[in-house]
Chain A
Amino acid sequence: MLPKYNTSVKKVDNEEKMSGMAIFTGDIRMDDALFAIPVRSTISYGKILKINVPGLPKGYYFVSAKDIVKENVCNIIASDWPVFADKETHYKGETIGLIVGPDKKIAIDLATMVHAEYEEYEPVYEMKNSYVHKEFNKGNPGLFKNATKVFSESFETGYQEQIYLEPQGMLMWLEDKKIVIKASMQCPFYIKNAVVRTLGCKPEKVRVIQPAVGGAFGGKEHYPSLMAAQLATAIVKIKKPIKMIFDRKEDITFTTKRHPSKTEISAYMDKNDNIIGVKIHVGIDGGAYVGCSMVVLARALIACTNTYTFDNVAVTGDAYCTNKVPSAAFRGFGSPQSIYAMEMFINHLADFLHVKPLELRNKYLVKTGDITSTNGIFRDKIILKELMDKAMEMSDYKRKLEEYSKPGSYRGIGMSTFLHGCGFTGSGESTIINAQLRIKKDKNGIVTFYTSQVDFGQGNKTTLKRIVVDTLGIPEDHVIYDAPDTDETLSTGPTAASRTIIIVGGLAAKAAQHLKEIWKDGEEQEIVEPYVGPSYIKWDDDTMQGDAYPGYAWGVNIVEVSVDPITYEVTIEHCWSTYDVGHAIDERILIGQADGGLAQALGWAYLEKEVMENGVFKQKTLSDYVIPTMVDLPQMETAIIDNPFPYGAFGAKGAGELTFAGGAPAFCLAVEQAINRKIHKIPATPEYIMELIENGD
């Protein structure tokens, strides 16, 4: 039985977070802990000839590639990012070593006195050298040559910084011959594996415990692995507790960001203006190391036809190597970039073909049973049309669209539709992650279950617990669910890819159900529940063919704006959203994702400008890299339409990333109407809007 739809409970961590009692990494007192201060390369690309280290006072250490125990490799999918830059440095700010010592001020001063000598090479900052290339086709792209009309455009998106409330930080110490780590993180087992790999030690020698975490958004998926590998190298040498906590400026300047992108799309039409097919190339700026860029690229490519079905599709993509801070995970993982491009394109194409955008969208809108761009099948019931109708009704879209089209209205309304593939790509959940969930019951009937899922504010500590409580039908205080400790829990995978509820939630429900079935009062019982994916999911990573995801979540955003013709500033007047996330376990938590995801997407769309010049970000502080405040954001109305998914817990699919996907195109389409110009890049700042108004598009 489903729990009552749209019921909401108080989040289990409300009190400790609201009262300030929660202990974050930086709050942990360990009086003998040493401070680790990174020494960073000062050039974008070159050979490291020599590192000159000043005479160090007693108790201070310099740790570098020379101290690597086993492998100078940070375990981030591609294995090309070194723990410490050794023979070469590939971006300005790359860590060439750590100064470690008891006094932070002295350590900082010493770090500035370390001087590396380089032989500089010519750095590359533009997207021109591809290090990952992917391509796939659907149907017959050979038919493109029969086209009587072709329409082509390209779209660019910029960097985005996560601005989690709590900057990156890590504390590491030795206990019972183990390395113990507490850190601001998303993925305890990623950190553990990174340490095991660089040290070449046994997995049981590393223990990762999650303290309170203040936000992540993908920014703490991979970067903490690098910090952990560095500190582990140091702790083997020094054998004392070490902490490394970044200040905001350091975090903005040197940690991973959202990939900038450039997407080129061409549509080929026959003489009746039917679309024969589309050709798409997505380019993303991966920075100095591949890291996870091939997976980000894959997701961007799989999502590039967004909510439309075209019979013939030719997709290519490249991740480019540049001498910049590596780009990595950020809510959406590449798909918001290509979805943005397709949403803008389909509207511009409608203008080109002299039809109403809504008409063109509807003509190609995905329906249940359609073939995906990777020749998989959209099997589950798609209710996109209902989502659109509901959003249009809530916002009075059609009337406003008409009204604001009058010249000089300086108002506009824009709509986006979007999808998000939940969980790891393809069969990755069963072949790579292989989640296993442990649940046990003591003699008194108290149930404890373990996951490696981190609650960094999104609420899964509450939601996962609730799934187990509701399944077992026992009181809430009879279920214990603590933050992950890798000595207690098996890996249920990373807290990423909108997989927590759809995959781990489903697994938790199944484990609880099995426990319920064998429940014997007064006995200790334990179950390890392995993840078993839907058997129909078949995926070939090399050819990018098959079912890309176990399930899809869907959404619609409508954004209304006004533009000040004197200052070119945009005011977001109102936002409306509708979502199909299967079934909402807790509506209030879902609304938190809906409002937060859209706010973050709008920031990306018009405010958050991060420009790199000669390998250095120009915006380094929160006064220069601006994110929206409460005053900048409007009322947001959200409706959720129930459409239970058979494989998720109580019918739930993923929601965390979905809510980011549509904000930018809906915003830009609204601004386009207000200024009567076409937008081809974000952030659409007032400076860019002025240029468009003055010079035309």
Chain B
Amino acid sequence: MIRHFVPASLEEALRIINKNNCYIMSGGTDLMVQKHVSTGLLPNFDRSVLYVMGLKELDYIKNESDGSVSIGATTRFVDIEKSELVPEIYKKVIREIASPNIRNMATMTGNIANASPAGDSIVPLVLNDAYVVLSSLNGERKVPVKDFVLGVRKTDRKNEEIITKIVLLPQNLKYFYRKVGSRKAESITKVSFLGAYRIENNIIKDFRVAFGSVSIKVVRNLEVENKYKNIKASELNIDEVIKDYSPLVTPITDQRSNKEYRHKVAMNLLRKFLEEIKGGQNE
């Protein structure tokens, strides 16, 4: 039987989900669309639903003693976008997600849990080594976002777990972000690019690259990144970097774009980013 649970506390929610295989709904901006049947009819849920949006104890953004920032699972994009505690790069990404009315409802946790290849907020989370905390009656576990998203609509969440928070780790990086959608607002991403670097005394100390919407999950490769760390920025071989990333970017053709475009634009954006790193040398 399909049941609808509205827990009063996280503890109650954990007890419910321990016994019931549930969809977990927070903002509902993905689930309600996915389960839509027809105007005037209830959505068609094939499993029970646990409604967590009312859990105040999960609606927060706070600094932790180790310098990280934790974001409770039911915190909506609109609040993250406004928070002084959240690094600017996340806000930049959020401002281009959907529309203001969607961002008033949707949560970043939901964006991760929905595990769409076009989930925009997953890109900076992966690039910045953020992790999620999953809770169950048996305790908590931390999973880097990079490992949490397994594929299209597939995550590492176990049936009895709830994502309770996202933890952002502070970074000292310069960012380069571009979302390419089908139009300038309210668009689903065709390809997105986020690059980051830190240069000290002309040496590239940190170098990171992430691509969104060009594979079943966000593309980030530590091996390639490490190759270009601790070299002189002026000696960065742009063509070589592009050659390294080119085979890792494996987009598809669908109703929104084609693989040739997605690949080409991904490489163009990477080139632009690399030119910025090199160009920064002359400043």
Q: Which residues of A contact B97 (CB under 8 A)?
A: none
Q: Is the CB of B172 closer than 8 A to any CB of chain A? A: no
Q: Which residues of A contact B264 (CB under 8 A)?
A: 690, 694
6 examples of A-B residue contacts, CB within 8 angstroms: A567-B180, A567-B268, A569-B180, A571-B184, A629-B184, A629-B185
Q: Which residues of A contact B272 (CB under 8 A)?
A: 566
CA A123 – CA B265 in complex, angstroms? 37
CA A651 – CA B255 in complex, angstroms? 47
CA A611 – CA B187 in complex, angstroms? 18
A 559-573 contacts with B by CB, 8 A: 566-569, 571
- Contact among A26, A566, A611, A691 with B268 in the assembled complex (CB-CB below 8 Å): A566
Q: How far is the CB of B45 from chain A (nearest CB, A)?
A: 13
Main SS of the interface on chain B?
Answer: loop
Q: Which residues of A contact B261 (CB under 8 A)?
A: 568, 686-687, 690
Q: Are A247 and B38 within 8 A (Cβ)?
A: yes
CB nearest neighbor in B for A694: B264
Q: How far is the CB of A563 from chain B (nearest CB, A)?
A: 13
Q: How far is the CB of A685 from chain B (nearest CB, A)?
A: 8
A contacts with B, residue count (CB < 8 A): 28
Q: Are B187 and A104 within 8 A (Cβ)?
A: no
Q: Is the CB of B247 closer than 8 A to any CB of chain A? A: no
Q: How far is the CB of A633 from chain B (nearest CB, A)?
A: 9
CA A624 – CA B186 in complex, angstroms? 11
Interface 0/1 of B244-275, CB less than 8 Å to A: 00000000000111101100110011001000
CB nearest neighbor in B for A693: B264
CA A687 – CA B261 in complex, angstroms? 6
- Contact among A568, A607, A624 with B265 in the assembled complex (CB-CB below 8 Å): A568
Q: Are A567 and B182 within 8 A (Cβ)?
A: no
CB nearest neighbor in A for B182: A626
Interface 0/1 of A673-697, CB less than 8 Å to B: 0000000000000110011001000
Q: Is the CB of A628 closer than 8 A to any CB of chain B? A: yes
Q: Are A104 and B38 within 8 A (Cβ)?
A: yes
Q: How far is the CB of B29 from chain A (nearest CB, A)?
A: 12
CB nearest neighbor in B for A107: B38
Q: Is the CB of B224 closer than 8 A to any CB of chain A? A: no
CB nearest neighbor in A for B99: A629
Q: Is the CB of A174 closer than 8 A to any CB of chain B? A: no
CB nearest neighbor in B for A624: B255
Q: Which residues of B contact A687 (CB under 8 A)?
A: 257-258, 260-261
Given contacts A245-B39, A567-B178, are A618 and B184 in contact (CB under 8 A)? no
Q: Which residues of B contact A245 (CB under 8 A)?
A: 39
Q: Are B188 and A629 within 8 A (Cβ)?
A: no
Name, among A108, A686, A687, the residue most crowded by chain B CB atoms within 10 Å (CB to CB): A687
A 240-272 contacts with B by CB, 8 A: 245, 247
- Contact among A566, A623, A624, A630 with B269 in the assembled complex (CB-CB below 8 Å): A566
Given contacts A568-B265, A629-B183, are A611 and B255 in contact (CB under 8 A)? yes
Q: Which residues of A contact B152 (CB under 8 A)?
A: none
Q: Which residues of B contact A569 (CB under 8 A)?
A: 180
Q: Is the CB of A521 closer than 8 A to any CB of chain B? A: no
CB nearest neighbor in A for B40: A104
Q: Is the CB of B37 closer than 8 A to any CB of chain A? A: yes
Q: Which residues of B contact A611 (CB under 8 A)?
A: 255
Q: Are A632 and B39 within 8 A (Cβ)?
A: no
Given contacts A686-B261, A687-B257, are A105 and B41 in contact (CB under 8 A)? yes
CA A402 – CA B186 in complex, angstroms? 35
CB nearest neighbor in B for A622: B186
CA A247 – CA B261 in complex, angstroms? 32
CB nearest neighbor in B for A569: B180
Q: Are A632 and B268 within 8 A (Cβ)?
A: no
Q: Is the CB of A518 closer than 8 A to any CB of chain B? A: no
CA A264 – CA B72 in complex, angstroms? 61
CA A611 – CA B257 in complex, angstroms? 11
CA A573 – CA B37 in complex, angstroms? 40
Q: Are B265 and A108 within 8 A (Cβ)?
A: no
Q: How far is the CB of A570 from chain B (nearest CB, A)?
A: 10
Q: How far is the CB of B53 from chain A (nearest CB, A)?
A: 23
Q: Are A607 and B183 within 8 A (Cβ)?
A: yes
CA A569 – CA B187 in complex, angstroms? 13
CA A623 – CA B189 in complex, angstroms? 10
Q: Are B180 and A247 within 8 A (Cβ)?
A: no
Q: How far is the CB of A44 from chain B (nearest CB, A)?
A: 19
CA A653 – CA B180 in complex, angstroms? 42
Q: How far is the CB of A106 from chain B (nearest CB, A)?
A: 10
Q: Which residues of A contact B39 (CB under 8 A)?
A: 26, 245, 247
A631-B184, A631-B185 known; 11 new pairs, CB 8 Å cut-off, are A104-B41, A105-B42, A566-B265, A566-B272, A567-B178, A567-B269, A623-B188, A626-B187, A630-B185, A690-B264, A691-B260
Q: Are A632 and B184 within 8 A (Cβ)?
A: yes
Q: Are B185 and A632 within 8 A (Cβ)?
A: yes
Interface 0/1 of A575-612, CB less than 8 Å to B: 00000000000000000000000000000000100010
Q: Which residues of A contact B38 (CB under 8 A)?
A: 104-105, 108, 247
CA A630 – CA B100 in complex, angstroms? 13
CB nearest neighbor in B for A246: B39
Interface 0/1 of B161-181, CB less than 8 Å to A: 000000000000000001010
CA A104 – CA B182 in complex, angstroms? 35
Name, among A104, A567, A632, A691, the residue most crowded by chain B CB atoms within 10 Å (CB to CB): A567
CB nearest neighbor in A for B272: A566
CB nearest neighbor in A for B41: A105
Nearest first, the 3 closest Cβ-Cβ pairs linking A and B are: A631-B185, A618-B255, A687-B261
- Contact among B40, B183, B257 with A632 in the assembled complex (CB-CB below 8 Å): B183
Q: Are A567 and B256 within 8 A (Cβ)?
A: no
Q: Which residues of A contact B269 (CB under 8 A)?
A: 566-567
Q: How far is the CB of A566 from chain B (nearest CB, A)?
A: 4
Q: Which residues of B contact A247 (CB under 8 A)?
A: 38-39
Interface 0/1 of B182-199, CB less than 8 Å to A: 111111100000000000
Q: Which residues of B contact A567 (CB under 8 A)?
A: 178, 180, 265, 268-269
B 4-43 contacts with A by CB, 8 A: 37-42
CB nearest neighbor in B for A618: B255
Q: Which residues of A contact B180 (CB under 8 A)?
A: 567, 569, 686
Q: Which residues of B contact A686 (CB under 8 A)?
A: 180, 261, 265
Q: Which residues of B contact A629 (CB under 8 A)?
A: 183-186
CA A649 – CA B257 in complex, angstroms? 48
Q: Is the CB of A6 closer than 8 A to any CB of chain B? A: no
CA A623 – CA B102 in complex, angstroms? 13
